[in-house]
Amino acid sequence: MQKTSSRRNFLKTTGLGVLGASLLAQSTPRVHAAESNTIRFALVGCGGRGGGALRNVLDTDGPVKLVALADVFKNRAVNLANALRQQEDERGHIPEDMVFDGLDSYKKAIDALEPGDVVLLASTPVFRPQHVEYAVARGLHVFMEKSFSTDSPQTRRLEAAVAESERKGLKVACGLMYRHSLGRQETIKRIHDGEIGELMHLRGFRMQGQWYDFQKRPDETEIAYQIRVFHSFDWSGGSIFIDGCIHNFDIANWVMKDTIPVSALGFAATLGPIRTGQLRDNWYTEFEYADGTRLSSHTRFLSGCFNTYNDFAHGTKGSADLGRYQTFSTRSMDYKDWIMQRGTTIWARKEKEPNEYQLEIDLFFDAIRNDKPYNEGRRAVASSWTALLSRAACDSGKVITMDEVMNSELALCDVDSLSLDGEAPVTPNPDGTYPIPVPGVDAVI
């Protein structure tokens, strides 16, 4: 992975057949002296994000060794394993019998590890709570990619697994890498110190081009299709909206001193020509926090429109630009009023940002090597609750409270009984389209 590219962008621009060679050829292997300090790890989920996390591990300081690979889909696991064997870096070479596929492959990869080892969890989001739970039970340190859950029962399952990881003293990192942005850290500290006054309004934007029209393959089962194109289905991925906005939600919760909203009202629509699965392309949510502060979340995936991906905070004495995403640019800054223009800047970070993807892995592995307290699991849970609140508000057309979402028993699937040959949790309509919630009619929590 190029240091300046996101894992998701890499996946968009790279076919699975050439995934590994392009992904892993970017850096030469490092030389490690203290081999007795080797951290063994496995990867579950061999798509773009999983491969990116694996590259980051191989680029971190200290000796590491890949033990196993696993993916629901055999071609992904085998392609990545073959690409790794072509690299000079033997730390990523594994035998064929340590490459696993299928819905139970995560157990095989995790069982190949020992307590105190590391597992990278980057599979389809619906499996994340299940995989975290199993890894924590085995005494492993966990890195989990976003998104983290797809419904309320699964989020409670994740929350319980995180609590157990804390009880066991395990290290947990999550894919909310923008928490490690130095510019955002300084800007949000200044907000907390009162530089822009009392907070009044937060704004989050994720606006970009049209999402892909993913078609079902001729030899693909319905459930395999819905797992593969998880961005398009609520039960498997939570929707592209949750995946796309979870960073905005996490940043807002961070600004609000790691609290979460108490209620939300929103709407969603399909305006563009592409409708794959349950995918929509426009979402808006207004959240309310306990102190009355509002967060406006704007999301759109349509070509030919204005694009932006960043966050803003407005206070009684000024405002803050919290930085653009995926650019590692010098963007975070504070202003003395709400007109964000030159001449009104109070502070701006001038240095280029480090690669947050690499930094989150470096901090995680440093904590493991030096036994430092390190657990980001609660951030993952909080961002998941915020995302589910937003989806429920948009899908229902009603004001939804966080208590309603947290207490919801509506499960979109039974993840423990899924089968690649079984019936999919969502079935297509007679015309080939898929059902989406009707506001004011369907139960969404």
User: Could you tell me how many residues make up the chain?
Assistant: 445
Looking at the chain, the whole-number percentage of residues with pLDDT higher than 70 is 91
Query: Phi and psi for 46 in degrees, rounded to 5?
Result: -105, 25
| Mean pLDDT, range 412-422, rounded to an integer | 96
Residue 216: alpha-carbon gap to chain centroid: 24
State what percent of residues in the chain have pLDDT above 90. Answer: 79
**74 pLDDT higher than 90:** yes
* Distance of alpha carbon 275 from alpha carbon 214, whole angstroms: 9
Q: Is the pLDDT of residue 33 over 70?
A: no
Per-residue pLDDT band for 296 (boundaries 50, 70, 90) equals very high
Buried b (16+ CB within 10 A) or exposed e, 159-197: bebbeebeeeebbbbbbbbbbbbbbbebbbebbeeebbe
Q: How many angstroms separate the CA atoms of 213 and 253, rounded?
A: 32
Summarize pLDDT for 55-69 with one digit per residue, the tens. 999 999 999 999 999
Is residue 323 packed enough to be buried (19+ CB in 10 Å), middle (13-18) or exposed (0-12)?
A: buried
CA pair distance 322, 333, nearest whole angstrom:
7
CA distance 384 to 36: 38
Residue 350: per-residue pLDDT: 82
Examine the pLDDT at 28 and tell me if it is beyond 70.
no
| Two structure tokens written together for 339 | 């007109």
The answer to whether the predicted template modeling score (pTM) of the entire model surpasses 0.85 is yes
Beta bridge partners of 41: 66, 118
> Higher model confidence: residue 340 or residue 173?
173
Question: CB-hemisphere CA count at 13 Å for 63?
Answer: 9
Whether 164 has a pLDDT exceeding 90, the answer reads yes
Task: Work out the mean pLDDT of the chain and round it to a whole number.
Answer: 90
> What mean pLDDT comes out for the span 137-147?
98
Q: Pick one of 2.30.30.190, 3.40.50.720, 3.40.50.620, 3.40.50.1970 as the CATH number of 7-178+359-376.
A: 3.40.50.720
Amino acid at 65: K
- Is pLDDT at 333 greater than 90 in this prediction? no
Q: What is the pLDDT of residues 346-370, one digit of tens each?
A: 988 888 888 999 999 999 999 999 9
How many Å apart are CA 291 and CA 44, to the nearest integer? Answer: 40
Checking if the pLDDT of 426 tops 70, the result is yes
Cα separation, 419 vs 373, whole angstroms: 38
Q: Give the CA angle between residues 97, 369, 10 to the nearest 5°.
A: 60
Write out pLDDT tens, residues 182-231: 999 999 999 999 999 999 999 999 999 988 778 899 999 999 999 999 99
- Determine the pLDDT at residue 326: 57
Map out the domains of the chain as residue ranges.
7-178+359-376, 181-353+385-417
Q: How many Cα neighbours within 13 Å face the side chain of 339?
A: 4
What is the CA 297 to chain-centroid distance, rounded? 17
Sign of CA dihedral 326, 328, 329, 333: positive
Alpha carbon distance 103, 305 (integer Å): 39
| Average pLDDT rounded to a whole number, residues 80-98 | 96
CATH domain 181-353+385-417 topology: Dihydrodipicolinate Reductase; domain 2 (3.30.360)
- The Cα 260–Cα 249 span in angstroms is 9
- Residue 381: what residue type? V
Task: Say whether pLDDT at 130 is over 50.
Answer: yes
- The half-sphere exposure of 191 on its side-chain side, counting CA atoms within 13 A, is 29
Tokens linked to 358 = 């690499």
pLDDT score for 211: 80
| pLDDT mean over 302-310 | 93
pLDDT of residue 335: 87
pLDDT, mean of residues 403-430: 96
The larger pLDDT score, comparing residue 335 to residue 257, is at 257
Distance CA 344, CA 333 (A): 10
Is residue 331's pLDDT more than 90? no
In 102-214, which ranges are E strands? 118-121, 141-144, 172-174, 199-208
**pLDDT for 229:** 94
Mean pLDDT of 81-105: 96
Interval 77-81 mean pLDDT = 98
Closest CA to 277 of 192, 366, 216: 216
The per-residue pLDDT for range 308-325, each reduced to its tens digit, is: 999 999 999 999 999 877
Distance CA 6, CA 206 (A): 15
